[in-house]
Chains A and B, each alone.
Chain A
Amino acid sequence: MLNRLLRASPYIVVQLAAMVLYQLAGRIEYAAAPGRIGPDFWPKSILVLLGLVCVYEIIKNLLVGETFTAAGLLEKLMKDSGATEGEEKLRSYPLLLVGGIVLTIIYVTTIDKLGFFLATIAYLALFMVIGRYRRWGVIAVSSVLGSLGLIFIFMKVVYVSLPLGTEPFSAVSLLLLRVMGVH
């Protein structure tokens, strides 16, 4: 039963979300024109279809316990050819994944304060470490040069205005831009 519940769980989550969104779609405010469908019709139609597909999968996985799934053509071709064999047997490192995601969220929340240069050096170096790379020299050089290179390409060549950060970190960014001749 637990297996069945696990198989059905993604569909249950999507189904619940679809139900909530359907309720919200019913509250969309607009000036109705007589004889015309409103802006809620399209999302509601999609949500109904989404709900139907999820209900089918929930019944199939949870109640009937059926595992048959009609695969898309590419999936079938890959499976028939044996190209996907062994994929399931690959080792899994959930802690690395959690570390990578947490690091990414920290980067996104701090880039505004630290500025692109400092935040990126830290992110590149730590991501490589989390990714089980241990050549410290390469990590140091590639994260510093990589960060400089990205600033040069995007601010000097492609004209993208990357975040400079707030005081005192912005001083580092501004000094760097002056050295690179970016105005």
Chain B
Amino acid sequence: MDALIHLGNGFLQVLQPANLLVLFIGLVLGMLVAVLPGLTLVMGVVLALPFTYTMELLPAIILLTAMYVSGTYGGAFTAILFRIPGEPIDVPLLWDGYTMARKGQPAKALGWTLFAALGGGLITTMVMVLLSAPVAQFALTFSSPEYFAIIIFGLSSVVSLGGGSITNAAISLMLGLLIATVGVDSIYGAERFAFGVPFLQDGVEYLLVMVGAYGLGEVFTRLEKGFAGDGTTADTDRSISTEFPTLAEMLRLKMTFLRSSLVGIIVGIIPGAGATVASFVAYGAEGQYGKRGKELGSGIAEGIVAPQTAATSSVGGAMIPLLTMGIPGSGATAIILGAFLLHGMQPGPQVFVTSGPFVYAVFASIFLGVIGMCILGYFAIKPLVKVLELPEAVVSAFVVMFCFIGAFAARNNLSDLYVITAFGILGYLFEKFKFPIAPMVLGAILGPLAESSFMTMMVSHSNDWTVLMGRPISATVMVMAVIALVYPIQRQLRERTRRNGTTQ
């Protein structure tokens, strides 16, 4: 009952004109970012970060979460209509969404996407509201070993679930953790890896790592591929409409919808996975368990509903560990965590005790964001897809500018521009040599938290690290972390042995 009252108050806060305006801007920006092939969702949220420096915390989080929500949906338009996936999330939509459009039913395909985004979004928000408070309550019982174990689980799942090879992801993660150690250590006040350079003594801001590696690095990577000259050649002037499915059609797909929502929420909760994994896994699950699984790829509605529902559902799932434990579940939530920290708020188990009304206002904004995103998607497809005509070189030049201003504005320090340029080059090299960037960014963000919980654990338990295995929760989570790392390696080794056996 309390939750409902808080949620009601949250709605009242979000419905204030200034917050509504921020929500609307966030939704539009998220969709634009998702539509433009040169910009990823995570990059978009990074670029919006500097605008939040002078905002109050609530509008700042509303802006970023609105971008996050609508970013999981906007790319569907171009994937279905022009076979241009704005994001990797939208790749599964090419197989059935674009095929359905080519069969002469683009409006129907867009309608199914809208239904999936709306339904998935509303379900995930409800689950988020229902689960967050109990999870935070449970997390209040955690001590430093449990906290450390959860961070280790989060980091190991980032390694095993993300892109790139597992060893490259591990190297990326450890570099991120090392970056977090630069500067003056908070316990002893000792200087680490600063080499006497004043701005390194203050430490490397994770914001610079994020903006440099995600923003500049991506621009450099695309520049090497020689930007697409004058924007898309797709026919963005054609008539575009959305045809919502009938109730009977929707009911026929209820199992697909429920299954994919569940997949999205679970994948979202697991740190490091995010909307892209959710979208692919849901599509795969539909192929395996769906009634018409064998027809996937031929332009059927199930192939649209499954990935889109899961992608949008993953948002609420990812917000749960972020708000209740301070552990981001995806690249975008890592940046939202960054925004929390920049505004002096540390999400975690205490969040409902110290900032309950604020958290419910965030929930309310996601509720309204999902509805707003679908309204926008219904009425504004045409102008949205028009941005495909923007030349990539022009867009990229401005992306670099936003990166620089974002980096500079955080501390008004010109030295930070050198740092993000260095991370931009590092981000490019990561892409070039197939090292994923997300583990490095998460390592840089979670590094201080991991170190402080480790040091506290060691001090409180007389340097006995085996305490991790002596407590039921931390032991279980550590076992999960080991499984998360070992299972994919073991599975792929088994697959390889089988393949070798077949070819011999």
Contacts and interface: CB of A to CB of B under 8 A. Distances in A.
Interface string B160-188: 11111111111100110110010001011
A46 B175 CA distance: 8
Contacts of A28: 190-192
Given A36-B458, A160-B412, 10 more contacts: A10-B433, A35-B463, A39-B188, A49-B174, A69-B165, A71-B492, A73-B488, A100-B220, A158-B51, A158-B54
Given A104-B424, A160-B50, A81 B91 contact: yes
Contacts of B224: 92-94, 96-97
Given A46-B178, A81-B91, A127-B393, A75 B163 contact: yes
B145 to A, nearest CB: 15
Given A43-B192, A97-B428, A53 B171 contact: yes
Nearest to A112: B414
B276 interface: yes
Contacts, number: 229
A163 interface: yes
Q: Select the residue from B53, B394, B396, B492 with max chain A CB neighbours within 10 A.
A: B394
B161 A128 contact: no
Contacts of B192: 25, 28, 39-40, 43
A111 interface: yes
B92 A81 contact: yes
A96 B223 contact: yes
Contact of B414 (A47, A111, A154): A111
B216 A104 contact: yes
Interface residues of A, number: 77
10 contacts: A31-B188, A38-B190, A70-B165, A70-B166, A92-B224, A120-B401, A131-B393, A143-B397, A146-B397, A160-B54
Q: Select the residue from A76, A78, A100, A111 with max chain B CB neighbours within 10 A.
A: A100
B248 interface: no
Contact of B165 (A38, A75, A96): A75
Interface string A23-54: 01100111100011111101100110110011
A39 B454 CA distance: 12
B492 A70 contact: yes
B162 A72 contact: yes
Interface string A115-139: 0000010011001101111010011
B171 A14 contact: yes
B284 interface: yes
A58 B162 CA distance: 22
Interface of B: 50-51, 53-54, 88, 91-92, 159-171, 174-175, 177-178, 181, 185, 187-193, 216, 219-220, 223-227, 229-230, 273, 276-277, 280-281, 284, 391-394, 396-398, 400-401, 404-405, 408-409, 412, 414, 417-418, 421, 424-425, 428-429, 433, 435-436, 451, 454-455, 458-459, 462-463, 488-489, 492-493, 496
Contact of A132 (B50, B220, B227): B227
Contact of B397 (A38, A127, A160): A127
Interface in A132-169: 132-133, 135, 138-139, 142-143, 146, 150, 154, 158-163
Nearest to A87: B225
Contacts of A96: 223-224, 226
Contact of B493 (A29, A47, A70, A138): A70
Given A57-B167, A127-B396, A35 B462 contact: yes
Q: Select the residue from A11, A71, A91 with max chain B CB neighbours within 10 A.
A: A71
Contacts of A36: 458-459, 463
Contacts of A30: 185, 188-190
A70 B491 CA distance: 9
A35 B429 CA distance: 42
A2 interface: no
Given A72-B166, A76-B492, A96-B226, A138 B417 contact: no
Given A68-B496, A69-B165, A73-B160, A104 B88 contact: no
